[in-house]
Amino acid sequence: MTLNSLQKVNKAPMSEHPEDPIYPVPARLLDPAQCPKPYISSLEQYQQLYRQSIDDPSTFFGKLATELLSWSKPFHTVKHGGLDHGDIAWFLEGQLNASYNCVDRHALADPNKIAIIYEADEPNQSENITYGELLRQVSQLAGALRARGIKKGDTVAIYMPMIPEAVVALLACARIGAMHSVVFAGFSAEALRDRVQDASSRLVLTSDQGKRGGKTIETKKIVDEALKNCPSVETVIVCQRTGADVPMKAGRDYWWGDECGKRTNYLSPEPMHSEDPLFILYTSGSTGQPKGVMHTTAGYLLGAAATVKYVFDYHPGDIFACMADVGWITGHTYIVYGPLALGATTVLFESIPTYPTPSRYWELVAKHKVTQFYTAPTAIRALRRLGDEWVEGHDLSSLRVLGTVGEPINPEAWHWYYDKVGKGRCAVVDTFWQTETGSHIVTPLPGAIPTKPGSATLPFFGIELAVLDPVSGKELEGNNVTGVLAVKKAWPSIARTVYNNHQRYLETYLKPYPGYYFTGDGATRDKDGYIWIRGRVDDVINVSGHRLSTAEIESALIMHNTVAEAAVIGANDDVTGQCIHAFVCLKPGVSCHSTDLNKELVLQVRKVIGPFAAPKKVYLVEDLPKTRSGKLMRRILRKIVAGESDSLGDISTLADPAVVATLIAKVANS
């Protein structure tokens, strides 16, 4: 892996309000007349428990796993292995089933309790699904999967819109011990194909179409296109979202309703070992090839449940609303597994924050009396821009905890969230974590940890952080240090491997700094020991909280028949955090002045990866800045786009330093 860490760790203070006070825990949260008592209600209590979790993880997590999860066979050994050898294992002899934990035990206790509030694309179409109903639906689909030959250890791809059946799909796989591999339904046919092939998925769960923000998405058509080249797929089960007439391939495609209708309403869950895989989820890294990050059953589920309990301070009766898509890790952990493991009511939101108006989120909160609300800074920034009038006049008094995730939150957006949405009465939790960490690793606890706008604050239980010098790998002790963020010991929900490529797991996460888990993010530990995440130090771009690799976008561009070479960088963007700028060199003889070609290249990326990866700007250029050994210097492009051409640093190693002036002119004129 090549790390540009030194240049990329942004040492400038993040907060534009250095005089900002520390925000104490809102008094309302600690007032028993107004709110349930937070599980962790003082900084001292957090510190004491945190110490225990680090000094004696076996006792701490052994107790938590017994309290929060139901086991069909108890574990005896809490932890084994670690970061040195990449042989991490937790709760070794134990057996449990994730769908039992997320459905059965709550359905048995109270079948009428609402598990899912489905807030459909059109606001008047919401629907409630009880735990009893969820158990029937999960059992039926699990039975249908089995009847189609899916067994423990097989992979099932899920490419679905945000409808209740998507949640049922994850849980049905978990019920029979099949690994799910959810592919975000914004990915293109080609991206879906690559992920289906990599995981050798045997069956695909999908829908006829999708609905989002009033638009129709041709989900099944995309699946058909993808499956032209996926010999491992024997069966496709299609759920009806719109009832559209979609082509069904005889002998391969079956209707969800027909398949489930034939099955019994109860199917017993497959007992799974703690370390049996639960799912794979693809994420972008430094190379063009996405990684199938694999999570196992017990540790992941414990991380999910424990963070919903402590970070969101979930209490029985709360209504939990995470606005992410189930296609990303945030949806897996905080729409499905975490809330359902605790028997919560979870909101499944099919639409977008601005449909039909920018009040949609706040109408949803008022309508369902949401207590915990979780979204991304990009949504907060976009809504803030549209004006306060959209948030005013809605009854948001049910809210206690406001979460953010996906990228650093700038203080302006934090303040708006805290003041306008939370009315100063709610805790804002800026939760830092990753697909690979499974659940939050640096985050405030609402009743205990005072916050600073823009800081993810302090580590969650069991997370021993280190800020490392990016070059020497030495740990930077004490406060007021900036480097790369790493974790010193394995915790229950850390990913165990990259599907079919353990070597890549070791090389990406454990070998860059031996003995540590490397996050790929830069971070500062400030004078009070608070963590400020500085963004990725590898070639990953974060657009609206979506992780994209420069290499992946570049290879999509190069597939276009006019393109000789491409270099992609992340530039700052007021709404999406970062956006993509692409520098493209055309093949000899291709004219570089066509605006149509610009559009075509953007379309090319949409087609190969998906609309969310589309470059905001494409520059057609004669040459790219390269070293004499041919290494692309993206750093120079980043500086030029950021308007920092006067501080390009050493460009003497460039094969042709004259390229720089041409690029500066090109960017200035575009």
Instruction: Please report how close the Cβ of residue 333 comes to ligand 6R9 at its closest, in angstroms.
Output: 8
Note whether 186 binds ligand 6R9 by CB under 6 A: no
Label residues 331-343 b or e (16+ Cβ within 10 Å = b).
bbbbbbbbbbbbb
Of 200-208, 265-273, 459-467, 518-526, the segment contacting ligand 6R9 by CB under 6 A is: 518-526
With CA atoms as reference, report the closest residue to 420 among 386, 446, 448: 386
Among residues 192, 329, 347, 597, which is the contact residue for ligand 6R9, using CB under 6 A?
329
Instruction: Phi first, then psi: give them for residue 268, nearest 5 degrees.
Output: -75, 145
Cβ closest to ligand 6R9, residue 348 vs residue 409: 409
Note whether 578 binds ligand 6R9 by CB under 6 A: no
Residue 237 corresponds to which tokens in the numbers above? Answer: 């089960």
Residue 141 corresponds to which tokens in the numbers above? Answer: 């689909």
Residues 6+ apart with CB under 8 A from 598: 618, 620
- Which ranges in 104-187 belong to alpha helices (H)? 105-109, 131-147, 164-176
Cβ closest to ligand 6R9, residue 207 vs residue 410: 410
With CA atoms as reference, report the closest residue to 157 among 185, 120, 116: 185
Of 200-208, 240-248, 420-428, 517-525, the segment contacting ligand 6R9 by CB under 6 A is: 517-525
Subset of 520-549 contacting ligand 6R9 (CB under 6 A): 520-521, 533, 535-536, 542, 545, 547
Note whether 413 binds ligand 6R9 by CB under 6 A: no
Among residues 274, 434, 550, 578, which is the contact residue for ligand 6R9, using CB under 6 A?
434
Beta strand 563-573 with 577-586 is antiparallel
Of 367-375, 394-402, 425-433, 557-565, the segment contacting ligand 6R9 by CB under 6 A is: 425-433
Angle between helices 164-176 and 131-147 (to 10 degrees): 60
Among residues 185, 456, 498, 663, which is the contact residue for ligand 6R9, using CB under 6 A?
456
Instruction: Please report how close the Cβ of residue 509 comes to ligand 6R9 at its closest, in angstroms.
Output: 11
Q: Rounded distance, CA 420 to CA 425, Å?
A: 10
Note whether 403 binds ligand 6R9 by CB under 6 A: no
Residue 557 corresponds to which tokens in the numbers above? Answer: 């561009």
Count of residues touching ligand 6R9 (by CB under 6 A)? 24
The helix or strand, by DSSP H or E, that contains position 226, with its residue range, turns out to be helix 219-226
Of 388-396, 403-411, 487-495, 579-587, the segment contacting ligand 6R9 by CB under 6 A is: 403-411
Instruction: Please report how close the Cβ of residue 374 comes to ligand 6R9 at its closest, in angstroms.
Output: 11
Subset of 282-311 contacting ligand 6R9 (CB under 6 A): 283
Note whether 411 binds ligand 6R9 by CB under 6 A: no
Q: Rounded distance, CA 331 to CA 328, Å?
A: 5
Among residues 97, 235, 274, 330, which is the contact residue for ligand 6R9, using CB under 6 A?
330
Q: Rounded distance, CA 144 to CA 28, Å?
A: 49
C-alpha torsion 45→46→52→58, nearest 10: 120
Identify the DSSP state of 612: G
Of 150-158, 230-238, 266-274, 424-432, the segment contacting ligand 6R9 by CB under 6 A is: 424-432
Largest CA distance in the chain: 75
CA-based end-to-end distance of the chain: 33
Instruction: Please report how close the Cβ of residue 408 comes to ligand 6R9 at its closest, in angstroms.
Output: 4
Cβ closest to ligand 6R9, residue 402 vs residue 405: 405
Would you say how long the chain is, in residues? 670
Of 251-259, 327-335, 498-506, 631-639, the segment contacting ligand 6R9 by CB under 6 A is: 327-335
Residues engaged in binding ligand 6R9 (CB under 6 A): 283, 328-330, 405-408, 430-435, 456, 519-521, 533, 535-536, 542, 545, 547
